[in-house]
Amino acid sequence: MTEQNGSRRLHIGILGCRGIPNHYGGYEQFAEYLACGLVRKGHQVGVYISSLHPYAADSWRGVRLIRRQDPENRLGAFGQFIYDLNCLRDARRRKFDVLLQLGYTSSAVWYPVWPADARNIVHLDGLEWKRSKYNYPVRQFLKWMEKLVARRADALIADSPVIKNYTRETYRCHSELIAYGAETAIQPDLKHLEKMGLEPGNYLLAISRFVPENNLELILEGHRNSDCARPLIVIGNAGNRYGAWLTGRYASPVIRFPGPIYDKPVLDSLRAYAGLYLHGHSVGGTNPSLLEAMACRVPICAHRNDFNAAVLGPDAYYFRDSREVSQIISNFERQAAPEGWTEANFRKIQTDYQWPVIVDRMEKLFFKVMDESRR
């Protein structure tokens, strides 16, 4: 840590994502906004980036990119463990003040090589061991990793009050509540709809990874069994076995799978002009796609669980099964969502989830952990 013009300047490392700019998902988006925000505040920030990432330069918007070998394309999921180990080994020689680890599933096992001269802060994400894609031995391993980071990390970050309460009750430890962020300066453009043959308000939208815990099957089955004439557009990479099964079973003129889209202006336009946004995530804490839908002022129908309820409160439709999805969609055809829901959700973003607010909270936590280490 250095002093610059009377203010403290931290050397911060971020690992656990595939790198920035974001080409993948939630953690990459979080790293992108956080790193750039911290650089604007005068901090020195390095983000680890996979050798498989398409961006080739060694910096981006003032953030140093530290490229390390990632064998995931050859070794599958095990390659993530090797990638994290390569990042941690490098971090030991960087003299970071703070090392932020995004997730723990493939980095906690390497805790003996965590850099001893840095404050190691772990972002817990969701309850990883609950994800249905994992078999029993993997779930037990993930619970062990969770317990390990709860005891070894210098600080924990929970992105949902549900996770915060869980760590307190399960491990008797404190976690800092800091969620993901979202932008409020949305500028939707009809040209993006025209390219996809869509009309404003005349389609339903879901943006999701194709994994069972995101409940896409309930959404798809519910739409198919409803009397809704508006098409359902499902954005995401269906390249896995589960995705292939869903697209094969449900693809039709009124259920479309355009594939993954990472261009934010396109996604914002699709959200802003959708008649209804369907959100099935059920495990992973506060979900970035949900926050972005709220920022776009679109009516939301979400899977009923504690994570979604903690964010949306009473300002959304909720479903437990495909029958309830059908009922909600059919009723929505005849009657619009209650007035005030979309504005209430937008105000939540302005108050609690704007990126500048999130960056400020992260910086405050970093300083707090550094100060505690001096005592």
So what's the pLDDT on residue 142? 87
In this predicted structure, the answer to whether residue 373 has a pLDDT above a threshold of 80 is no
Q: Which one, of 157, 132, 98, 337, lies nearest residue 214 by Cα?
A: 132
Do 82 and 75 form a contact (C-beta atoms < 8 A)?
yes
d(CA 235, CA 262): 10
So what's the pLDDT on residue 342? 97
pLDDT over 70, % of the chain:
97
Tokens linked to 46: 């390095």
Q: Using omega within 30 degrees of 0 as the cis cutoff, is the peptide bond preceding 21 cis?
A: yes
Q: CB burial class (10 A; 0-12, 13-18, 19+) of residue 51?
A: middle
**Tens of pLDDT, residues 252-273:** 999 999 999 988 899 999 999 9
In this predicted structure, the answer to whether residue 58 has a pLDDT above a threshold of 60 is yes
Confidence of residue 138 (pLDDT cuts 50, 70, 90): confident
Confidence of residue 165 (pLDDT cuts 50, 70, 90): very high
In this predicted structure, the answer to whether residue 241 has a pLDDT above a threshold of 60 is yes
Mean pLDDT within 231-260: 96
d(CA 144, CA 152): 12
Mean pLDDT within 166-171: 94
So what's the pLDDT on residue 284? 75
pTM over 0.85: yes
**Tens of pLDDT, residues 343-372:** 999 999 999 999 999 999 999 999 999 998
Do 51 and 67 form a contact (C-beta atoms < 8 A)?
yes
C-alpha distances in angstroms, 153 versus 15, 27, 101, 113?
Answer: 14, 19, 10, 13
Residues 6+ apart with CB under 8 A from 340: 315
**Tens of pLDDT, residues 303-327:** 999 999 999 999 999 999 999 999 9
So what's the pLDDT on residue 333? 86
Q: Which one, of 363, 366, 351, 12, lies nearest residue 182 by Cα?
A: 351
Do 125 and 103 form a contact (C-beta atoms < 8 A)?
yes
d(CA 281, CA 165): 19
Mean pLDDT within 33-39: 97
- The DSSP bridge partners found for residue 318 are 302
So what's the pLDDT on residue 1? 65
So what's the pLDDT on residue 24? 78
So what's the pLDDT on residue 339? 84
**Tens of pLDDT, residues 90-121:** 999 999 999 999 999 899 999 999 999 999 99
Mean pLDDT within 170-181: 94
**Tens of pLDDT, residues 328-348:** 999 998 888 888 999 999 999
Dihedral of alpha carbons 74, 64, 22, 283, sign: positive
Mean pLDDT within 166-170: 93
So what's the pLDDT on residue 150? 93
So what's the pLDDT on residue 325? 98
Domains and CATH numbers, the chain: 2-181+354-370 (3.40.50.2000), 190-351 (3.40.50.2000)
Tokens linked to 30: 């979080």
- Mean pLDDT, the chain, rounded, equals 93
Mean pLDDT check: name the lowest of 130-134, 217-221, 315-319.
130-134
Mean pLDDT within 33-46: 98
Strand (E) or helix (H) holding 30: helix 26-40
CA 80 to chain centre: 18
pLDDT over 90, % of the chain:
81
Tokens linked to 8: 């403290």
In this predicted structure, the answer to whether residue 125 has a pLDDT above a threshold of 80 is no
Q: Which residue intervals of 256-297 are DSSP H helices?
A: 264-273, 288-295
In this predicted structure, the answer to whether residue 133 has a pLDDT above a threshold of 80 is no
